[in-house]
Amino acid sequence: MVKKDSLIRGTLILAAAALIARVLGLFQRVPLDYMFSGPGNGYFGIANTVYLYLLIIATAGIPSAISKMVSERYALGRPREAQRIYRAALLFGAVTGVLLSTLLYIFAPYYASSFVRTPEASSSIRAIAPALLLFPIIAMMRGYFQGRQMMSAGGISQIVEQIARVLVGIGLALVVLNLGWTDRWISAAATFGSVFGSIGAFLVMLYYARKLKRSDMEEERSLGRGERESAAASEAAAPPVRLRSIYKEIFTMSVPIVFTAMTVQFIYLIDSTFFIRWTDSYYSAYDTASRIRDYLIFNAQSIAGIPPILAIALSQSIIPVLSAANSVGRLDEVRKQASLVMRIVVFTGVPAALVLTVGAHSVNGLLFSDPGASGVVAALTIGTIFQITMMTSNSILFGLGNPRPAMISAIIGYAVKIVGSLALGPLLGGYGFIIASMLCFMIITWLNMRVIQDKVELNVLGRRWPAYLLTIVIAAAAGYGTDMTVRGVLGSILPSKLVFFAGTVATGAVMGIFYLFLLIALGVIREADASSFPGPLRKILLPLVRRFGRRETEAQGS
């Protein structure tokens, strides 16, 4: 019999898979940047952006809906109905995969030339299109396995997918590079690695499907005759389920999730698709606009994807916790857990974004070949603070069983992004697009928090906000000064990469020390807060708070 995963273990598996995927994604872009001699990183970024956006439309939310529907049917003793839902989902995934991959391949030249105004990117888009054949099916299978409480299947398939994608993509790019081909084909070879990633993930899912089928057969054989007859009678008593009703149930549940899940990819799609068109009055030359766009969609998006990693993990884990408490009317527990997760996000996500922002020159120079992207990297990374709060507030609303307001907030945010980019792009160029993205995240967060506060009144920091703001200002100033000093002192002595490495390490260390000390010394983190944090954080913070923090009586007075 296949062992099922507990909630905590399943969450850890999915969070670890997401973390590994982010790290491997960054690992792939770094060597590719040094292979390209021209605008190849832009071709690669354009292809990946449109591919990921279409993939989210095809799959986001549907696996969650399938998971819920399958788990409910098995709980009711109707496994055949669950299997019918699974087969309907696989059919939808197969049809969607063929349709999307075909359309993307056919319209790639038109999209690249007419919208993105980068015709050379069409080869990379066409190279990645076949990956859409299998990924919708894989997403349906992951949803089914989650419904059967087998999170390890989806997590391991995701890890295998990323390893195959990165290794094969870099390997093919090296082969093409040694053949002396241009950036256009190096980028196409690298993006074709996603096809092998999909094959690897699909093989893993087939292995688990076969394993689960054997387990189900063994479990059925182990039942007594009376139990089998009772199960058959229960199945027969249930009304037959039509495909139409299955798809209606799936889409009713998944549509709000799709709108909220694709927010970041929607923003990236707007940036890569319309950047050249909407900034042509700001930049005097096409090459300049193309270079800034490549900074944004290749360098900046890679680094800006690091701070939200913890928020993604928290967003996955908080939904079932809040849902369980809300379903039995325990609003005090809902308030406590929602406030806690927002507090953890503030304490961890903000400093991560700040370190990468104030040390952007060193971080970007260490990873990539062109330090000129540092300004764009810094601007986009600081905006992830609001991206993190947006993601967390979305999850709180889903945990409260109220996804519709999150969907409406996302749609309003999309409009803000489009209008903001149209208005600010001609005035500020790339920074106009970034400001529009920040406004989108801020508006969605604000709208979400209004709905949440109507349901439960959160207490994130209360009257400690001024002390917290003072903490991040001082820590950021110390980090920026450290980075400038290290680069100024070592710039004429060591090779540039070593200088950037020293600047990155020193900035992170100084900011971390200042930030942690000031949080405790100014009473932002108190013993009660540290005691409520997850185990690893609690073990680090509790001794420090007790040694350097303000006394509880002093804290109550403030």
Stated pTM of the model: 0.84
pLDDT one-digit tens code per residue, 118-142: 999 999 999 999 999 998 899 888 8
Angle of helix 40-59 relative to helix 243-261, nearest 10 degrees? 140
> Which residues, 6 or more positions from 455, have their beta carbon under 8 angstroms from its beta carbon?
334, 400, 402
In this prediction, residue 393 has a pLDDT band, given cuts at 50, 70 and 90, of confident
Is the pLDDT at 239 greater than 60, yes or no? Answer: no
Q: What is the pLDDT of residue 7?
A: 46
CA distance 524 to 473: 14
Pick from 358, 389, 340, 405: nearest CA to 507: 358
Q: Which of residues 291 and 233 earns the better pLDDT score?
A: 291
User: What would the mean pLDDT of 13-17 be, rounded to a whole number?
Assistant: 65
- DSSP secondary structure of 384-443: HHHHHHHHHHHHHHHHTT-HHHHHHHHHHHHHHHHHHHHHHHHHHTHHHHHHHHHHHHHH
Q: What is the pLDDT of residue 289?
A: 92
For 190, the token pair is 């690298």
In contact, 51 and 194? CB cutoff 8 Å? yes
Is the pLDDT at 310 greater than 80, yes or no? Answer: no
CA distance 359 to 436: 23
In contact, 355 and 413? CB cutoff 8 Å? no
| 175 CB neighbour count, 10 Å cutoff | 12
Taking the CA atoms of 342, 317, 142 and 44 in sequence, report the sign of the dihedral they define: positive
Pick from 153, 133, 128: nearest CA to 142: 153
Taking the CA atoms of 261, 437, 53 and 20 in sequence, report the sign of the dihedral they define: negative
pLDDT one-digit tens code per residue, 449-488: 898 888 878 777 778 889 999 999 999 999 999 999 999 9
> 3-state DSSP helix/strand/coil percent for the chain, to nearest 5?
85, 0, 15
pLDDT one-digit tens code per residue, 79-121: 788 888 888 889 988 999 999 999 999 999 999 999 999 999 9
- Of 127-131, 178-182, 339-343, 525-529, least confident by mean pLDDT is 525-529
pLDDT one-digit tens code per residue, 163-193: 899 999 999 999 999 999 999 999 999 999 9
Q: What is the pLDDT of residue 24?
A: 76
Q: How far is CA 403 from CA 21, 254, 257, 408, in A?
A: 27, 10, 7, 9
Percent of the chain whose pLDDT exceeds 70: 84
Residues in the chain, overall count: 558
